[in-house]
């Protein structure tokens, strides 16, 4: 293993004092394996698992399986996430104990662990916008949210400065800020080699820029959750103190049980790998006073989406759960998107100010008097349950996910959902004596990948 940087050792000895040797030894052990389960896509089971104390759907595994070779992973039955970062779920439950609909922004969302986590907890009528500024990471974020299957998530590819006209719009803003990665030193040896005091200072300054605007986006009475996967004072305590003293937000104390092993800081909570079963993580909650006036936002029609002709809507309805209430839109590329009726106004407000915004769920592409269903739609919770489908075993599912054409007995003609253990994986189209595999090329898994 790469040696811990000398300056990092000095920093942590100053923070932890006599506790440092135990901390340093913990960084040379194997990291715990953890994930959170989808609350509605059932079926994922592992030989030995225990519950993460701060999230009822979180699980520790005794060893790391090959997730990529598990069809249920591709169906969205679970998301592989570091356990400490699931503390966001516990913070959310304390900050929002009621059931009123919420507007949520995950500002630095890729690859999607905290977005999927929060989406699973939101009250009815809520929505979440997952944003990522780096384009390549944004594509991964979109894929992971597609697998999770909720229709109340939007995605955007913007810098924080682009959100300024939405000041006061969000009930919750989560900033899981890009950081120096000290909390990754156990599982990522490259992070040790890339770390330096200069990178800490650079990250702290970048975080400050993000937080300055993020604080403005919080609605009166709303909350900003700030987190990093690091330990140092500059990125954690000093940024949290600035938020509490200069941003107009008030520090919100959280009631985390002592047995969880977190260290309470002046303006947040620190997780250390020698005290909890997880990696390094910092979390702080800050609230905006309710005395401020709620800003007014006016919805206007979408600029890039047009309403689908009502006569053509009948093409879409056979694909959608009968109790779902959607509006239908089409883009310049011809794809149809569906958007829950109660989310329309907020989606239109967002679209006025964010040019690289994806709202609604891609249902498919019209082709004559038929609709070609999208790969994303197969994974959505509102995909109609009684569509033609074929249950396949583990090996056949993997062949399908590799975009191969394994033998499928009993396959009817037309569009058919491929399922494994009752969960949708994607589409094939039966053509009589053969079929076409419509699993996306960019999603396919490769032999030996884990």
Going by DSSP bridges, is the β-strand pair 306-307/281-287 parallel, antiparallel, or unpaired? unpaired
Catalytic residue list contains 229: yes
Tokens of 437: 């595999």
Q: In degrees to the nearest 10, what's the CA dihedral of 268, 270, 271, 272?
A: 180
Contacts of 171 (CB under 8 A, 6+ apart): 96, 102, 103, 104, 218, 219, 221, 222, 223
Q: How far from the centroid of its chain's Cα atoms is residue 27's Cα? A: 27
Tokens of 329: 């839109």
How far is the C-alpha of 362 from the C-alpha of 370, rounded, in Å? 15
How far is the C-alpha of 238 from the C-alpha of 240, rounded, in Å? 5
How far is the C-alpha of 262 from the C-alpha of 270, rounded, in Å? 6
Q: How many CA atoms lie within 13 A of 13 on its CB side?
A: 8
**427: three-class secondary structure by DSSP:** strand
How far is the C-alpha of 13 from the C-alpha of 24, rounded, in Å? 10
CB 395, CB 389: distance < 8 Å: no
Catalytic residue among 179, 203, 229, 383: 229
- What is the CB neighbour count within 10 angstroms for residue 249? 25
CB 144, CB 117: distance < 8 Å: no
* Residues designated catalytic: 229
């Amino acid at each position: 293993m790469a040696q811990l940087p000398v300056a990092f050792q000095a920093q942590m000895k100053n923070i932890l004092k006599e506790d440092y040797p135990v901390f340093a030894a913990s960084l040379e052990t194997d990291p715990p394996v953890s994930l959170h389960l989808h609350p509605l896509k059932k079926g994922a089971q592992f030989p030995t698992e225990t519950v993460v104390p701060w999230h009822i759907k979180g699980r520790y595994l005794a060893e790391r399986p090959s997730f990529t070779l598990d069809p249920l992973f591709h169906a969205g039955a679970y998301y592989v996430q570091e356990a400490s970062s699931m503390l966001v779920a516990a913070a959310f439950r304390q900050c929002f104990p009621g059931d009123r609909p919420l507007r949520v922004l995950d500002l630095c969302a890729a690859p999607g662990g905290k977005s999927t986590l929060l989406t699973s907890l939101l009250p009815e009528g809520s929505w979440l916008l997952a944003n990522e500024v780096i384009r390549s990471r944004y594509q991964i974020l979109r894929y992971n949210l597609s697998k999770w299957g909720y229709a109340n998530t939007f995605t955007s590819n913007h810098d924080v400065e682009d959100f300024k006209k939405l000041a006061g719009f969000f009930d919750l803003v989560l900033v899981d800020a890009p950081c120096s990665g000290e909390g990754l030193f156990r599982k990522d040896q490259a992070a040790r080699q890339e770390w330096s005091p200069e990178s800490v200072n650079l990250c702290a300054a970048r975080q400050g820029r993000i937080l300055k605007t993020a604080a403005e986006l919080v609605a009166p009475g709303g909350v900003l959750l700030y987190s990093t996967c690091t330990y140092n004072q500059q990125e954690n305590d000093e940024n949290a103190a600035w938020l509490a003293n200069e941003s107009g937000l008030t520090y919100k104390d959280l009631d985390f049980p002592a047995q969880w092993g977190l260290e309470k800081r002046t303006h947040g909570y620190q997780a250390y790998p020698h005290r909890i079963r997880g990696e390094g993580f910092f979390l702080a909650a800050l609230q905006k006073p309710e005395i401020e006036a709620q800003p007014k936002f006016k919805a206007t029609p979408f600029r890039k989406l047009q309403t689908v002709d009502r006569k053509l809507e009948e093409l879409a309805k056979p694909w959608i759960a009968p109790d779902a209430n959607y509006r239908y839109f089409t883009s310049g590329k011809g794809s149809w998107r569906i958007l829950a009726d109660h989310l329309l106004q907020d989606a239109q407000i967002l679209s006025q100010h964010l040019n690289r915004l994806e709202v609604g769920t891609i249902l498919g592409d019209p082709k004559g008097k038929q609709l070609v269903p999208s790969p994303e739609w197969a994974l959505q919770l509102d995909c109609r349950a009684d569509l033609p489908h074929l249950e396949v075993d583990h090996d056949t599912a993997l062949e399908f996910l590799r975009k191969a054409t394994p033998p499928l007995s009993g396959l009817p003609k037309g569009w058919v959902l491929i399922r494994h253990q009752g969960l949708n994986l994607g589409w094939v189209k039966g053509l009589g004596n053969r079929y076409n595999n419509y699993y996306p090329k960019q999603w396919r898994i490769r032999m030996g990948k884990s």
